[in-house]
Structure 1
Amino acid sequence: MSIVVNLDVVMVKKKMSSTELANRLGITMSNLSILKNNKAKAIRFSTLNEICKALDCQPGDILEYVEDEEDPRDQAE
């Protein structure tokens, strides 16, 4: 996946626990864990907005584009 979620890094910088953030966002710990562990396939802008408010950060602090590495097996010989 090319989009990496750095939510856990931002949470550490802001000294906020998962429990506190989940409570502020009104989401389950399970859903927060899915976001933190890069397992989410999508995120609602409203959720991203609330995360940014709670952590006093920008969307770019949480989401990062990382170019996929090429698989050597895909290269033509």
Structure 2
Amino acid sequence: MPAEEGSGIHCRLDELLADRGMTLTELSRRVGVSLVNLSVLKNDRAKAIRFSTLTAVCEVLGCEVGDLLTVARRP
């Protein structure tokens, strides 16, 4: 959970993939980023993301950065 790790950032990659009928494997192939790295991002365990990766993911998914990454609301 993002709040436990302190970043407060939530990645909506799973939701965006589901909306587009795309698998993480297909995204990995199309973006050129390893499946492991995308899985870390999808599961809110990433500590950083390269702008080039962020741009490529958003281009493939046809979304904006704010659609992919959100600030998790803390209780």
Q: TM-score range by the shorter chain?
A: 0.7 to 0.9
Tell me the TM-score normalized by structure 2. 0.85
RMSD of aligned residue pairs (Cα, Å): 1.0
TM-score (norm 1): 0.83
Identity of aligned residues (%): 43
In 1, Cα distance between equivalents of 2:8 and 2:69? 10
* Structure 1 portions without partners, runs of 5+: 70-77
Q: How many angstroms does 1:19 deviate by? A: 0.9
Instruction: Write the deviation string for residues 2-55 of structure 1: whole angstroms up to 9, x where unpaired.
Output: 110011100100111111100011111111110110000011111110001100
In terms of Rg, which structure is larger? 1
Look up the match of 1:73.
none
Structure ranking higher in helix proportion: 2
Unmatched tracts of structure 2, length 5 or more: 1-6
Match of 2:58 among 52, 55, 69: 52
